[in-house]
Structure formats: structure tokens, C-alpha cells
Amino acid sequence: MPLKITGAVDPELLDLPWSVPLETWPKDTLAALPRGISRHVVRFVRFRGRVLAVKETVAPIAQREFDMLKELGRMGAPCVVPFAVVDGRVDKKGEELPAALVTEHLQFSLPYRALFSQALRDDTLGRLIDALAVLLVRLHLLGFYWGDVSLSNALFRRDAEAFSAYLVDAETGDLHHGLTPGQRHYDIDLARTNIIGEMFDLQAAAELDETVDPLAVGDRIEERYKELWETLTAKQTYRENVRMHVAERVQALNELGFDVAELDMTQTSDGSELTIRPKVVDAGHHSRRLLRLTGLDVQENQARRLLNDMDEYRALMGNEEDEVLAAHEWLADVFEPTVRAVPREFRRKLEPAQVFHEILDHRWFLAEKDPAVTMPAAVASYVKNVLPARPDEQSVLGQEISVGDDESGTPREAPTVTTMIHAWQSLPRTGQLD
Ligand SMILES: Nc1ncnc2c1ncn2[C@@H]1O[C@H](COP(=O)(O)OP(=O)(O)O)[C@@H](O)[C@H]1O
Ligand SMILES: [Mg+2]
């Protein structure tokens, strides 16, 4: 069978060394080693100014995962973007090689193992678990049964003071019209078990503080999931003041970041009681509002933070009536100058919206000493005192550490994720991709 590429429209993809097993791809094609724990061989590849993730697997599974990720993307699920399926690979001797699923590397995403070391300082671990619970609820609302929920099968992006999680491994998943409570519980149980396992692994590698209780971390995902699911989908019955209650319910969901697209309302025959249940809820309440007003496409908590700043600015300017005009003024006078003040060499460290969020925090911190501190002063102080110490997070992939053949010709063992993370942390922080 000839080499066959489906999905991508870039013929340059044919130039990658498909006749070589992924494990031994030449260093100059690789961006770095994979970071998560995986069953398959996964490598990152530089490709036309971006990074692609290549995973070797069998053809029908690669195609199925490709289709699933495409469909999930269409539905607005947070997941990696599929790029191509490559099949019909043979090596130089004509032996068959596995098919490959190619996905786009999610920029500014971090595998959890690159993050958990901060766990005890500011409850990073807890925030990762919460983000995973939100992701699971969102996927379940769309009818996606994951089948292998774990921290390794997700990627995390900073999202203001929280994280947001993205699905990366959809291989075991399935799309349905809706999930039964049994299917959902199966996913939650698996999430709990997998996470507890991941915590024990970290402990065994002496990478998790002993005071962290793996069981409690596992319980947290279950609790957070159940709380959020209940809030989003529970039935409520009202006898009076129905309009107000409905408005309150919708507002509470908006504040959580969800829009109610459809609501089921059932009235008793005598009209004395009304039961409401949100039927379709869409995540992204704040990010949609920000996008509509400014064209900025950012994550939910970042959007919430930016909108707050915009609303404050509007109040300060006395421009309460015209939301759209005020949004444009805020963009031109506050957001853009702030983001532009970040020197080019630092732009790979954090996304612009995240930088803006951190500068707002920094201004608060400075305001303790000088309540009149201005935004430009806060920006200057942040760029000078905070940002230089931050690592580049645009493409956290790990640093390649001598895999491949040693002198004896036998492949050396691949480095562990931990050594890769340590190597990454000690790297100079410039120009990995340029
Ligand atoms: N598109 C991507 N962007 C960033 N990281 C990725 C991407 N695809 C895979 N990875 C990394 O590779 C790891 C393994 O990928 P995964 O799909 O989970 O493979 P497996 O099926 O072998 O478990 C993930 O945990 C993640 O860290
Ligand atoms: Mg996986």
C-alpha cells in the first residue's frame, strides 16, 4: 500500500521521515521528547513554524481518534486539534510500520508533571484536579464518554488564577446522544482510580510531598464533578416568584461560566408549581462576551478577569451606556498598550491574556505600598521584576536527552519524564522554536 495521508492539506507532511520508526526519527526533525506518560510512541515534530504531535498506533484506531477529535472540536469541546492520519508506512526494507495520528501541539499547554511541583505552594494540584473535573463535566454534557480519564490524558493551560484542561487522548472515547448516569459514573470512578495511581507514582518517584494524600486527591475529582454536574443540571421547583427564580438560576450559571441554551419548564396542571431544569448548557459565557465586544479569543477565567477590568474602566470613564464603544476604548487604551509593553523576547513565556491577568495582580500587590500606582508603572515593574524569572511556556515539550543509539548500537533507555522536566527547567529560555 502506498503512503497515504488523510486530513492535512500540507503536502510538506510527505517530507517527514515516515519510512523510519518514530522512535528513531532524526533529532533535527524532533522538537523534543513527549512529556506525558503514554502507551504509544509519541514525538513532537517541528513543522512549518509550528509543533505537531505524532503518535504511532494502528490505522483504524488512528482514524477513529482523528474523527472523534474533529467532531469534538466542531462541538466546541476543549481538545487538541487533529491534523492528519498517516497510513501505508513501510521502512527501507519494505516492512510495514505503524500508522500515525498527527495532532497540533496545543500552544501554552502544560503536562501536569511540569506543574505539580508547585502543588504545595499555591494548591496547583488542587487547581489541576478542578480543571479536570470541569473538562469531564463539559465532555459529558456533550455526550462524550471518555473511557480513560487521567491527568496524563489531559493538557493544562493557565487560565487567570485557575487552569483549564483539554482532552488530549480520545482513543478510548465514544460519542453518544446523551450519557446514562451509569456511563458518567464509570468515567468518574476511572478518573478517581487513575488519579490516585498517578499520585502514588509521583510519591514513589519522591516527587510529591508526603503530606499529600493520594486518596484525598482522587476524592476531590469526584466531589468537584458531582457539585458542578448538580449545579448545571438539577431540577428545581418553585411555587412563587417564578420569573425571579428562573433569572437567578440563569445568572448563577452565567457566573459559573455557562450559558443556558435550552431550559425545560414543567408546570403542574393547577399552575401552582413550576419545575425548571437546564437542558442545554454551553460553557464559555465570559469568553463569548469578550469575543463579541473586543474580538479577543481567550479562555473563560481570563475573559472574566478582562471583562471586570473593562467594566471598571467603563465606570471610571463614565461611559456606562455604550458597552461596545467602551470596549473598544479599553482595548486601545488599556489592554493593547499593556500587552505591547512586553518585550518580544518574553512573549513566549505566557499568553497575552495571562500576562494581562498577572499584571493586574501585580498592580494590586504594588498598590499596598502605593495606592495610586498606575497601570504603566505596574507593567514596567512586572516586566522588570517578575517576567524574566518565568519559563517559556509556549511549547513545553522537554529537552531531548541522548535517546537513540549509544556506541554499542543498542538503544539507550529513554529518559524519564522527571529528568526531562528538570532538564527543561534548567534550559536557557529563548528561541526553542525559532
Ligand atoms: N497535541 C498534543 N499537544 C501536546 N501534547 C501532546 C499532544 N498529543 C500528545 N501529547 C503528549 O503526549 C502524551 C501521550 O499522548 P496520548 O495521546 O495520551 O498517547 P497514549 O495513547 O499513548 O496514551 C500526552 O500525555 C501528552 O503529554
Ligand atoms: Mg494517553
Q: What is the predicted pLDDT for the residue at 46?
A: 86
pTM over 0.85? The answer is yes
CA-to-CA distance for 342 and 338, rounded, in angstroms?
7
- Mutate which of 155, 172, 395, 420 for ligand 1? The one with the most ligand atoms within 8 Å of its CB, which is 155
Q: Grid coordinates 510512541 are at which residue? A: 41
Please say whether the beta carbons of 136 and 149 come within 8 A. yes
Rounded alpha-carbon distances, angstroms, from residue 87 to 42, 70, 81: 16, 18, 19
3-state secondary structure of 63: helix
Q: What is the predicted pLDDT for the residue at 102?
A: 97
Which parts of 268-417 are beta strand (E)? Answer: 274-283
Helix axes 300-317, 323-330, angle to 10 degrees: 100
Q: Which residue puts its alpha carbon closest to atom 1 of ligand 1?
A: 105
Q: What is the predicted pLDDT for the residue at 242?
A: 83
How many whole angstroms from 120 Cα to the centroid of ligand 1?
A: 26
Partners of 90 in the beta sheet?
96
How many whole angstroms from 405 Cα to the centroid of ligand 1?
A: 24
The closest alpha carbon to 236, from 273, 261, 209, 281, belongs to 273
Q: Which residue puts its alpha carbon closest to atom 23 of ligand 1?
A: 38
Q: Grid coordinates 480520545 are at which residue? A: 170
Q: What is the predicted pLDDT for the residue at 434?
A: 25
Please list, residue by residue across 272-291, b when 16 or more beta carbons sit within 10 angstroms of its beta carbon and e when fewer do: eebebbbeebbbbbbbbbbe
Ligand 1-lining residues (CB < 6 angstroms): 34-36, 38-40, 42, 53, 55, 80, 103-106, 109, 111, 152-153, 155, 168-169, 171
Residue spans in the chain of domains classed CATH 1.10.510.10? 112-233+417-426
The CATH code for residues 112-233+417-426 is 1.10.510.10
- Mutate which of 35, 40, 42 for ligand 1? The one with the most ligand atoms within 8 Å of its CB, which is 42
Q: Residue 241 contacts by C-beta under 8 Å, 6 or more apart in sequence?
A: none
Ranges of the chain whose pLDDT falls below 70:
32-38, 116-122, 397-434
Please say whether the beta carbons of 102 and 89 come within 8 A. no
Rounded alpha-carbon distances, angstroms, from residue 100 to 82, 148, 217: 11, 20, 34
Q: Residue 45 contacts by C-beta under 8 Å, 6 or more apart in sequence?
A: 16, 25, 29, 30, 31, 51, 52, 53, 54
Ligand showing the shortest atom-to-Cα distance for residue 420 = 1
Return the CATH fold of 4-104. Answer: Phosphorylase Kinase; domain 1 (3.30.200)
Please say whether the beta carbons of 301 and 161 come within 8 A. yes
Ligand showing the shortest atom-to-Cα distance for residue 157 = 1
Residue spans in the chain of domains classed CATH 3.30.200? 4-104
CA-to-CA distance for 49 and 434, rounded, in angstroms?
8
Cell readout for 243 is 420569573
Please say whether the beta carbons of 217 and 129 come within 8 A. yes
CA-to-CA distance for 19 and 1, rounded, in angstroms?
13
Q: What is the predicted pLDDT for the residue at 199?
A: 92
The closest alpha carbon to 257, from 311, 295, 298, belongs to 298
The closest alpha carbon to 306, from 291, 316, 319, belongs to 291
